Every structure is written in C-alpha cells, then in structure tokens.
Amino acid sequence: MNMLQKEEIKNRVQKVQKQIAHEQVDACIISSPVNLYYLNGYIFDGYMYILPDREPILFVKRPVNLQAENVEFIRKPEQLPELLQKRNLTVPMRILLENDVLSYNAVSRFQKALCMPEMKSVSAFMRQIRSVKSESELQQIRKSALAHAKVYQQIPSLYKLGMTDLDLQIEIEYVMRREGSIGAFRSFGENMDIYMGSLLAGDNAEAASPFDFALGGRGIDPLLPLGSANKLLKPGTTIMIDMAGNYTPYLSDMTRTFSVGEIPEIAHRAHQLSISMHQEFMTFLKAGVACSDVYERAMEMVVENNMEEYFMGTTQQAKFIGHGVGLEINEPPVFAPRSREVLQKGMAIALEPKFVLPGIGAVGIENTYFVTQTGLEKVTICEEKIIVLQ
Amino acid sequence: MNMLQKEEIKNRVQKVQKQIAHEQVDACIISSPVNLYYLNGYIFDGYMYILPDREPILFVKRPVNLQAENVEFIRKPEQLPELLQKRNLTVPMRILLENDVLSYNAVSRFQKALCMPEMKSVSAFMRQIRSVKSESELQQIRKSALAHAKVYQQIPSLYKLGMTDLDLQIEIEYVMRREGSIGAFRSFGENMDIYMGSLLAGDNAEAASPFDFALGGRGIDPLLPLGSANKLLKPGTTIMIDMAGNYTPYLSDMTRTFSVGEIPEIAHRAHQLSISMHQEFMTFLKAGVACSDVYERAMEMVVENNMEEYFMGTTQQAKFIGHGVGLEINEPPVFAPRSREVLQKGMAIALEPKFVLPGIGAVGIENTYFVTQTGLEKVTICEEKIIVLQ
C-alpha cells in the first residue's frame, strides 16, 4: 500500500471515529468483508475495534499470520473483554455494530460477550460514507469500465447462429475472466443472488424474478431464477447484456442491447428514448439534486412518450431507475420515488432506464457516471446504439 | 413438480410443523432463499408462514405473478398482522425465525411488526433436517458428481506450457459452464467467500486465507483473497483442484491433484496417505459413528506416518477434515475434534485429508460419500492418482 492509500484509509477511519463521538457510543466493531476492506485495504476474519481517540485494534481469527500494526489474535468474541482489559481498555457500554449485515445470532453473541452493551447500527452510516468516492476509488471504477467496454466490444464476434442465450453468456463470461474479471460480484441485502451478471434474450425479459434487480429472467435452475433461460436466440428479438464490471474491487455497471437480425420499429424508438433520457440525465443530475426528482424526471419522459407499460418490465416493473455503485453493485443512493437522498460530488451512480417489449425483448442502456458540481461524467464509454448480431 | 417431489416437500414441511409443536411456539417464518427452496421447490422474495396444523401461507413480495396455493401478496413485514387477521389467524406470541442467516435488523423488524413475540432460532434445526438426504436429493448429488468427474477428466487437455494457475482455472470454469454448472455456489456463514471453487498451485497452497475453507491461497485481488494467484505453473510442483460441483442445486465436492512434470517422492507418499485414509474411511464411517471419532482416526493415521506438520496446511492448519454437502457446500455434520454430531444414514459428506508440502504444493484427494448402515458409498468416481500434466 502506498502513502496515498494509507492516508485515505486513515481518513475513512477518522470518519467512523467522528461517528462514534456523534452517536455518543464508546466503540465500533467492523467485521464484514466489504467494510474491513474499506477501512484496512484488505480482508481478514475477525473484528476491527475502533475507538474514538486511538489506533484501531485488529482482533484477528484468520489469516493466522496477518502482518499489520496493532494486531491481537483471537479465537472467539468471548475473549474480547479479557483482551481489552489486557490493553488497559474498558469493556464498552455503548457500541456500534453492522446490524444490517451481521446475522441476528452473530450480533447477539457479540452483545453477550461484551456484557450486553447498548447497541446501535453503523451499517447505514458505512454505506453512506462509502457512497462518496475519493479520486483513487473513481480511478478504479474507470479502470473497471475500460475493461467492461473492451469485453462488450467483443460480443459481436462471440455470437454464432444457433446459439442459446446461455451459450452466449458463457462465451462472454470467459472473455470477462480473460480480461481480468475477479469473479466475485458483491451485492448488499438478502434478495440479490446473481452470478457474473444478467443476459436477457427475447421474451425471457418479461419473466419476473424474486430478486431485487431492475429486470428478471427465468434462469437455468430454480435455485437461481434470474437471467438466461437456455433458449435459442431468435431472429427479430433483442439481447440485453448487463454483465458484471468486476475488474477491480470497484464495480462499473453497464448495459447494452444487441439484436438478432432486424427488430420492429417500436424497439428502436424505445431504445432511442432510453438514450435521450441519458442525455437529459447528463445535465439534469448534479450535486444537490434530489434522487426522487431524477426518478420523477425520468417518469415524465416515459409518460410523454406513452411508454409506461413497457418501462422497467411488464409482468413486474422495478420501482427504481438507478443506484450507486462501488464495492457493492447496489450502493446508495437509489433513484426511486420515495428516495430521500441528495446527489453529492464524487458519488458513482448507474442509471438504467430500460423497456421490455412483449414479443421482442428488452431495450435501453445503462451507464455508470460520476456526479460533479455541474453535471455527470460518463465513465462507461461504449457504443450505445443497438448492435445487430449476425 | 411431480407427485413424488410434492410428497417429499410435504414431509419436510411436516418436520418443521413438528418442531413448532416441540418448541412450543405458534408459528415459523422462513425467508432465506435456500430454505424457501428446500420447503417449496422454488425461491421467492417473501415469508413462508408455517403453522403447526394447516397449509403454510406464502406472503410474497416478488415475483408478483407467483402461481402457487395459499399466496398472499405483501410489500413489507408490517402488513403481516393485518393479513393474518384477514384470514382469522391470530398474531403469534412465540415464533421461530432463521436467526443464523437473517440480519439483526431484519429480525428486529419482524419482531416489531409482529408486536414483539418471543423468538427462537430455527436455523440450526433447518440445517439439521437438511443434512439427511432423501433418495431424490442423493440422486441430484450423483448427477452433479457425474458432471464434476466429466469436467475433471478434461483437465489434462486444458493444460498448456507457460500457463498461470489463473489461466488454467479460467479454462476449467469455461468447461464447467459448458457442462451445465449453474454458476451459483452457495455457502453458509459469514467468512466463506469463493467464486466457482479453488485451484492451488505450488507454494500458493501455503498462503493463509481469511476464509473458512480447508486450504487458502492468495487470490488475484485483495477483495477475494483465496485460490489462484496468477503465477506461472512451475515444473516440479502440484496443482490441487477443488472446483465447485454445482451442476444441480445439490453440490458434489471433489478435489484431485495434478503435477507439472515430475514431483519429489514425499509428495507421492503424502498423496498415497490421503488415498489410504479414504480407504479406511470407507469402512470406518457408517451410521452411528461420532464425527469427532472420524477426526481422531484421521489424525492417528497422520501421526503414524509423521505427516502432522503438512496436514491441512502449514502456515495455517484447518481443524476439520470434512463436512456435509447439499444445497450449501458446508452443511452439517463437520468432522472436527469437538464435533458432537453422529453419522446418520442418508447424510452426504465430503472428506478431504490434504497435505501441503513447502516448495512442492498441496496433495491429497477429496471425495463425496453417502452414509449407509454399513459404510460409505463413494459418489465422486474419478481417477485418484496424481495426474502429470504435460
């Protein structure tokens, strides 16, 4: 890790330390892989114990040879009081924990081990500070987006007549890995199962999924009901490709639409509307704008064009048109009617106005943008028109 | 779903209903994808509300067009009391919830929505009933194991001189998907991040990982510190391949060892010891045997052969030699010194006595077995000797 990265990580920890003071608690324990990575630059199995006025202590279960400052090896949370006392630190009476990601039993065990301190959640705060990116974080998203575009540019050469949607997805996954995809695709929450992204061909775009993504798809197995359905790609239909941008720890998010041969005029119109909405977003969105207003503005354009019945699905319509991206694919803010978030400079967001046309398939694009004082900077630079596969 | 599957699912729900009576609670709510799949045959976003004496009610958020009996569509848990009353059902005063998988905040929200019922965890019980498989579940593991072996048999043809460990892994992943891998690789718990399995070449097998798998590896990114390290495959070293058996919802688990050219005699001796341990396991293990005794027996054989310092790692040594497999890769029972579990007929288990030799790499094999009254049935049938890649 270089000096700049060390400085940045120190700043992040200081934000948590300020929150400890603000919430009037004694300490904060971080134990989820994503937040440990954010606050240390690496992942370990254990507990990062943050106090308001000194260096954090890393209580480490694994790896057993972790080389870092202020490490204390530990086997189980019940050892915490003893190990704290050994360092002349008192057992906390009020504490911040990651209550949105730790299981109920894990939190209860911590509480009991620490003699039942008063407890508050730090999960929403962590997601909030992570939503505003530093220059080096934005740089990593840029790097992911470059690889992302390089992979999508190869899609026409991967297509062969007689392929299924799954065949094409597998070829894309292979190219992704060859171009540096790290495989892991992190999401937040309990209904976000996915594997390397989603490819929706033809009417499969109408299939409603249990998961909380913009669109659905039947999937190839009832254990993962999302995306490709292992059906032949049919002339006159579209293929919407929304595969992971997981080429660095920081994700880019990008959707492009392809067609098998020619498709009806309405599909081109809907696709062009999505592109026009992105053009409008580029200046409408900037620091200070309410995310709910972005959703409203998008809906206005959809209604003006009489496209409501196709917007964000048919059978099941998603009630958001975009979200933050970073270490996880669904970070704050969310662009939904009741969102109370306001755009800030340095946020990385993905906007995805999409339409599903029965008998044809999904159309539209998704881009990743950075929020600036004056508008948006587009990061996913890649042909936006529908590309005909043949 | 055929009649047999319907009958089986009904039996599983009846077990939960008996547990409701046994725990003297009023109802059980299931909401995790894996347990919803186990108790319904499909996944939805919502709550399966199980009462001791009638058909379960499915409170469904998504998909919005779910076709099933006894469905009630819902937006949020706060609607539960009203929807229960509409069906002339009382709001429960004591309840079972999945406290090992639901987040603390999710559980707290349920509790509040249901007017603070007394609460017990159903997580351990669900894992326990899932650990004993029906004939149709065993059949799915057999099917996964067949595809698993078919993929491993292709590995020698995938190897090319000058490859890195990651190159080889990517080629294997591609063949896995072509042979029907569903991608998703489900694990239980908070420190089990992995993507499609692990490949450990040479000294990378010594690298300690934060995650709770048998062996480690550096990984290609600090966000996923496990497995392949993107290093050239070197003559005189081994490649241990432990990729996912995710070809049906039910996982097989299998490890095989390959070598780049010839490797030292000690590696062959350690590998043969692993094979001999498996031969011993085939008759030592049967219904009624304590899992801790299996661990003891394995350690005896390791000590007799003076191989302790290489067993289950060097830098970091795993303290288990096997585990149950099923919908998740780490189901009960666990073969560890302090395991209190006893083998039952119909359990599906994976045993993985492995050795890590500094300067050479990891050796040994892992097989999936079914527990019978008289011994073990081997399911992962595939060459067990070290195969030389050239």
**Could you tell me what percentage of chain A is helix, strand and coil, using 3-state DSSP and rounding each to the nearest 5?**
35, 25, 45
Nearest to B31 by CA among B131, B99, B115: B99
Contacting residues of A for B225, CB less than 8 Å apart = 42-43
Predicted local confidence at residue A277, as pLDDT? 98
For residue range A251-305, list pLDDT tens digits in order.
999 999 999 999 999 999 999 999 999 999 999 999 999 999 999 999 999 999 9
SS3 A8: helix
For residue range A74-95, list pLDDT tens digits in order.
999 999 999 999 999 999 999 9
Nearest to B39 by CA among B52, B49, B53: B49
CATH 3.40.350.10 range(s) for chain A read 25-129
Is B316 part of the contact surface with chain A (CB cutoff 8 Å)? yes
Q: Percentage of residues in chain A with pLDDT exceeding 70?
A: 100
CA-CA distance, A119 to A107, in Å (whole number)?
Answer: 10
Q: Contact, A253 vs A187, CB < 8 A?
A: no
Q: Within the 62-101 window of chain B, which residues sit less than 8 Å (CB to CB) from chain A?
A: 62-65, 97, 99-101
CA-CA distance, B80 to B115, in Å (whole number)?
Answer: 10
- Check CB contact under 8 Å for B173 and A178: no
Give the closest of A44, A45, A224 to B183, CB-based.
Answer: A224
For residue range B267-323, list pLDDT tens digits in order.
999 999 999 999 999 999 999 999 999 999 999 999 999 999 999 999 999 999 999
Below-50 pLDDT ranges, chain B = none
B22: Cβ–Cβ under 8 A, 6 or more apart, which residues? none
Bin A230: left if φ > 0, else alpha if -120 < ψ < 50, else beta.
Answer: left
Average pLDDT estimate for A27-39: 97
- Check CB contact under 8 Å for A103 and B99: yes
B87: Cβ–Cβ under 8 A, 6 or more apart, which residues? B57, B72
Q: Contact, B369 vs B296, CB < 8 A?
A: no
Q: Within the 153-172 window of chain A, which residues sit less than 8 Å (CB to CB) from chain B?
A: 170
Furthest CA-CA distance within chain B: 73
Question: In this model, does residue A5 exceed pLDDT 90?
Answer: no
Question: In this model, does residue A4 exceed pLDDT 80?
Answer: no
Q: Using 50, 70 and 90 to split pLDDT, how confident is the model at A37?
A: very high
Q: Using 50, 70 and 90 to split pLDDT, how confident is the model at A310?
A: very high
Question: In this model, does residue A1 exceed pLDDT 80?
Answer: no
Q: Using 50, 70 and 90 to split pLDDT, how confident is the model at A46?
A: very high
Two structure tokens written together for A149: 């575009």
Contacting residues of A for B197, CB less than 8 Å apart = none
**What is the CB neighbour count within 10 angstroms for residue A118?**
12
The tokens 């060459």 sit on which residue?
B383
Predicted local confidence at residue A327, as pLDDT? 98
Predicted local confidence at residue B191, as pLDDT? 81
Q: Percentage of residues in chain A with pLDDT exceeding 90?
A: 96
Nearest to B117 by CA among B81, B84, B148, B92: B92
- To the nearest 10°, the Cα dihedral for A171, A172, A175, A180? -140
SS3 A37: helix
In one letter, which amino acid is B388? V
For residue range A136-152, list pLDDT tens digits in order.
999 999 999 999 999 99
CA-CA distance, B274 to B384, in Å (whole number)?
Answer: 10
* A132-389 under CATH 3.40.50.2000, yes or no: no
State the CATH class of domain A25-129: alpha beta
ipTM of model: 0.97
Give the closest of B184, B209, B211 to A223, CB-based.
Answer: B184
Computed over every residue of chain A, the mean pLDDT equals 96
CA-CA distance, B288 to B265, in Å (whole number)?
Answer: 38
Is B255 part of the contact surface with chain A (CB cutoff 8 Å)? no
Q: Contact, B123 vs B104, CB < 8 A?
A: no
The tokens 């067990």 sit on which residue?
B384
Fold annotation for B3-129: Creatine Amidinohydrolase; Chain A, domain 1 (3.40.350)
Predicted local confidence at residue A40, as pLDDT? 96
CA-CA distance, A131 to A121, in Å (whole number)?
Answer: 17
- Check CB contact under 8 Å for A33 and B177: no
CATH 3.90.230.10 range(s) for chain A read 132-389
- To the nearest 10°, the Cα dihedral for A80, A81, A87, A90? 130
Predicted local confidence at residue A354, as pLDDT? 98
Is A144 part of the contact surface with chain B (CB cutoff 8 Å)? no
Give the C-alpha distances (Å, rounded to integers) separating B73 from B59, B63, B79: 6, 9, 10
Predicted local confidence at residue A365, as pLDDT? 98
pTM of the model: 0.97
Two structure tokens written together for A282: 């580029």
CATH 3.40.350.10 range(s) for chain B read 3-129
Question: In this model, does residue A3 exceed pLDDT 90?
Answer: no
B15: Cβ–Cβ under 8 A, 6 or more apart, which residues? B129
Q: What is the 3-state secondary structure (H, E, C) of chain B?
A: CCHHHHHHHHHHHHHHHHHHHHCCCCEEEECCHHHHHHHHCCCCEEEEEECCCCCCEEEEEECCCCCCCCEEECCCHHHHHHHHHHCCCCCCCEEEECCCCCEHHHHHHHHHHCCCCEEEECHHHHHHHHHECCHHHHHHHHHHHHHHHHHHHCHHHHCCCCCEHHHHHHHHHHHHHHCCCCCCCCCCCCCCCCCCEEEEEHHHHHCCCCCCCCCCCCCCCCCCCCCCCCCECCCCEEEEEEEEECCCCCCEECEEEEEECCCCHHHHHHHHHHHHHHHHHHHHCCCCCEHHHHHHHHHHHHHHCCCHHHECCCCCCCCCCEEECCCCCCEEEECCCCCCCECCCCEEEEECCEEEECCCEEEECEEEEEECCCCEEECCCCCCCCEEEC
- Check CB contact under 8 Å for B106 and A105: no
- Check CB contact under 8 Å for A212 and B248: no
Two structure tokens written together for A143: 């790097």
